[in-house]
Amino acid sequence: MNAYIGTPTSRVDGREKVTGAAKYAADYNTERLVFGAVVTSTIARGRIKRIDTSLAKHVAGVLDVLTHENRPDMAAKDDAWKDDVAPEKGTPFRPLYDGRIRFNHQPIALVLAEEWETALFAATLVQLQYEKEKHATDLHAQRDKAFVVEKPEKPRGNAAKAYAASEVRHEAEYFIPTEHHNPMELFAATAIWDGGKLTVYDKTQGVQNVQGYLCSVFNKKADDIRVINPFMGGGFGAGLRPQYECVLAVLGALALQRSVRLVLTRAQMYALGHRPATIEHLTLGAKKDGTLNVVTHEAIAETSEFEDFSRNDTGWAGLLYKSANTKFEHKLARLDVSTPSDMRAPGAATGVYALESAMDELAVALKLDPVELRLKCYSDRDQNDDLPYTSKALRACYRQGAEAFGWSKRNPEPRSMRDGKEFVGWGMASGVWEALQMPAAARIVLTANGHAEVSCAASDIGTGTYTILAQVAADALGLPIENISVKLGDSTLPQTPVEGGSWMAASASHAVIAAAEEVRNELLASARAMNNSPLADAKPEDVVLAEGKIMRRHDQSRAVSITDVMRHSGADRIVKEKKNEFAEDLSHARNTHSAIFAEVKIDEELGIIRVTRVVSAVAAGRILNTKTAHSQIMGGIVWGIGMALHEETVFDHKFGRIMNANIAEYHVPVNADIHDINVIFVEEKDDKINPLGVKGVGEIGIVGVAAAIANAVFHATGVRVRDLPITLDKVLR
């Protein structure tokens, strides 16, 4: 009965977005709105000796300038600042809390004015004196001070002994620089003051996370603060944790008892979370036939001085490849920077880049085709926990991807393939991510005219959550999709987790199904009570909702229309809210997989690198919407191209300062950098993971892409670049 699930349904919110009707956090207006502007630090570490706001306060139209010296109360205890996704260890950052400078571009004052321009002007008049302290922002310089934070996966066998005994060995270090999310929409919050209660429109991936955090930070009752964010112009993980704009907007509103809007500048957004710079050290040992004996993977990532942020960079080899001996280690080095945060496929984008580059180097050493090496080492079980997968169609990804790409025509010799002045390089890599799912609730309001409103607190960060929930609801309720409206991004709606980790599709869609079952049960109860009901003896499991009717599953002629049932029962609406929890099942590993094939063309003399073709074959269970999922994967590939060739947050370590804190100088790919991209969804039926067989596609698109490109660059040029981004100077000979 799936009229919509699995189809390329266009975005239900597309019209609102392209016509500008969709409102974002900074779009909400109210009377007597106050505008904020933030002053940020120009040193990376130290203390504010003196902060003089008198000049700024004298500007006509300035209402107040808040600093750590005069701000309203905020919670003193660390725990009050811990949001749902804060690192376990550490003290979360508190804007304007004290005079300590912990990183460059740290917010240190909030100017509040009647007009935005006035606030910006006055912000330039805030005078500061610092007591500077020696800072550290260079991971390479601090690597020796790194400490082990966790052993994500148990070691197996004896890695050192196995490596020594291996016939073919590879050892190398790979580096991924700090990267920033750079969502198009600036971080912004509009805090609407209503006699002590606040409605906060905030750019976030989790309205309930922000709501809980603000209540805790400002010691408010749950119904004092409501957080709303129906649309988001890109999140990518930057909006998983509450960012300081929401704290400062509320702080300003409390100080003035007026509504406040604060929009961060692009440069200020570089002091929010980021993908941590990471050094990845790998050793691989194999027999001459390509059988892997040993994998060790050590990651050294940066974190802030005040929180331990770490993700699983290592251990992916245990999911992909059979190896009797493994050792994984994750270390952190403290830097004077803001705390890193999740950024699309955190841990995997970086760790799998290193692993899949190393596997390519091993294939070269073994004189084996890279795909063949991966098939030889293919693991049908999660090696780390010795579990079978709920499903794993990675073999099919390799096969279908290679076929679509034309991989069999590859000459394995580096510098052997050419097109005019350009070297041609073909590289491939595997991708892997977790198929996570979380408890989530949804509400359905079915009205007597056959329309339904589906709602939950989830954010649609641009991925298509509105659309897939409309599809799922339409199918579950047996209604045309035009009759479904979806409401998201309001903290008063049914509880959902933050939107991240690729878990929202599975989590929210099963919540909708659970709520739809409640609706069906009530409809059935009413239908059974009708005179001469064709469903008189039907049980819930005997009936389905389809074509606007409630009908017997196996005899669709025995049916009653939903509108008739509701007219008969006299109810003008049925309201059902249901929380879905997935049965705990530790007997299987749950992952999505991909195989990426990339072609680069590199100008022989000038070193200019073009990624002319990418084929990504993805196995991610059932694809709810082949159109939005395709866009997700395509976006991940484009980002992977950026990660491989362009992206780098450039620090001047002398100043401890980011020097390219704008999107003119922080390069992401532009249209001219993108050529042919082919996304293949490999069929992967999964009846174990959840009833719909859904795994989520938010992260998998980027994983492995940078490695496939780096491997192609080596194949084209014979130059192995192990530090990203691969700029033309690194391949010039």
Q: Is 21 exposed, middle or buried (0-12, 13-18, 19+ CB in 10 A)?
A: exposed
- Using rule CB under 8 A, residue 184 touches other proteins: no
165 binds other proteins (CB under 8 A): no
Q: 648 an active-site residue?
A: no
Among residues 76, 184, 583, 672, which is the contact residue for other proteins, using CB under 8 A?
A: 672
Q: Rg for the chain (alpha carbons), in Å?
A: 27
Q: Give the shortest CB-732-to-other proteins separation in angstroms.
A: 6
Is position 18 an interface residue for other proteins (rule: CB under 8 A)?
A: no
Q: Which of 603, 627, 677, 719 binds other proteins (CB under 8 A)?
A: 603
- Contact region with other proteins (CB under 8 A), list: 129-137, 533-541, 601-609, 620-628: 601-609
Alpha carbons 474 and 122: distance in angstroms, whole number? 53
Residue 705's closest CA among 542, 594, 578, 586?
594
Examine residue 675 and tell whether it contacts other proteins (CB under 8 A).
yes
Query: Which residue, 448 or 608, has its beta carbon nearer to other proteins?
Result: 608
670 sits near other proteins (criterion: CB under 8 A):
yes
For residues 407 and 395, give the distance between their C-alpha atoms in angstroms, rounded to a whole number: 15
Shortest spacing between CB 100 and other proteins, in angstroms: 18
Residue number, 275 or 657, with CB nearest to other proteins: 657
Residue holding tokens 């070691």?
155
Question: Considering only residues 308, 453, 673, 723, which one is a binding residue for other proteins as defined by CB under 8 A?
Answer: 673
Residues sharing a CB contact under 8 Å with residue 721, sequence separation 6 or more, in sequence order: 710, 713, 714, 730, 731
Alpha carbon distance 500, 342 (integer Å)? 9
Which of the stretches 383-391, 424-432, 591-599, 665-673 binds other proteins when contact is defined by CB under 8 A?
A: 665-673
**Distance in Å, CB of 401 to other proteins, minimum:** 24
Specify the stretch interacting with other proteins by CB under 8 A; choose among 151-159, 454-462, 494-502, 669-677: 669-677
Whether 523 contacts 565, CB under 8 Å:
yes
Residues near other proteins (CB under 8 A), total: 37
Distance (Å, whole) CA 647 – CA 641: 9
CB of 357 to other proteins, least distance (A): 21
Amino acid identity for residue 160 in this structure? A
Distance of CA 627 to the CA centre of its chain: 19
Q: Does 607 bind other proteins (CB under 8 A)?
A: yes
Token couple for 307: 């929180």
CA pair distance 458, 442, nearest whole angstrom: 9
Q: Could you please report the per-residue DSSP string of 374-424?
A: HHHTB-SEETTTTEEBS---HHHHHHHHHHHHTGGG---STT-EEETTEEE
Give which of 108, 110, 116, 107 is closest to 61, Cα–Cα: 116
CB of residue 699 to other proteins, shortest distance in Å: 24
Interface pattern 399-438 for other proteins (x via CB under 8 A)? ----------------------xx----------------
Output the smallest distance, CB 600 to other proteins, in A: 12
Which of 220, 552, 667, 722 is in the footprint of other proteins by CB under 8 A? 667
| 608 is a site residue for other proteins (CB under 8 A) | yes
659 binds other proteins (CB under 8 A): yes
DSSP string, 116-144: HHHHHHHHTT-EEEEEE------HHHHGG
45 binds other proteins (CB under 8 A): no
Structure tokens at 730: 């690194």
Q: Is there binding between residue 49 and other proteins (CB under 8 A)? A: no
Toward other proteins, which CB reaches closer, 611 or 689? 611
Task: For residue 264, give the nearest of 559, 612, 557, 25 by alpha carbon.
Answer: 25
Give the separation between CA 103 and CA 42, rounded to whole angstroms. 9
Given 329, 434, 684, 699, which residue is catalytic? 699
b/e per residue, 527-538, with b = 16+ CB within 10 A?
A: bbebeebbbeeb
Cβ proximity to other proteins: between 143 and 421 the closer is 421
665 binds other proteins (CB under 8 A): yes
Residue closer to other proteins, measured from CB, 120 or 530: 120
DSSP state letter for 576: E
- Based on the shown chain and the rule CB under 8 A, indicate whether residue 646 belongs to the binding site for other proteins: yes
Q: Are strands 168-176 and 278-286 parallel, antiparallel or unpaired?
A: antiparallel
Q: Which of 80, 120, 172, 448 binds other proteins (CB under 8 A)?
A: 120
Please pick, from the candidates 97, 175, 378, 655, the single residue that binds other proteins as defined by CB under 8 A.
655
Of 185 and 422, CB closest to other proteins: 422
The binding site for other proteins (CB under 8 A) comprises 42, 117, 120-121, 124, 421-422, 601, 603, 605-608, 610, 645-646, 650, 652, 654-655, 657, 659-660, 662, 664-665, 667, 669-673, 675, 727-729, 732
Write out the catalytic residue numbers. Answer: 699
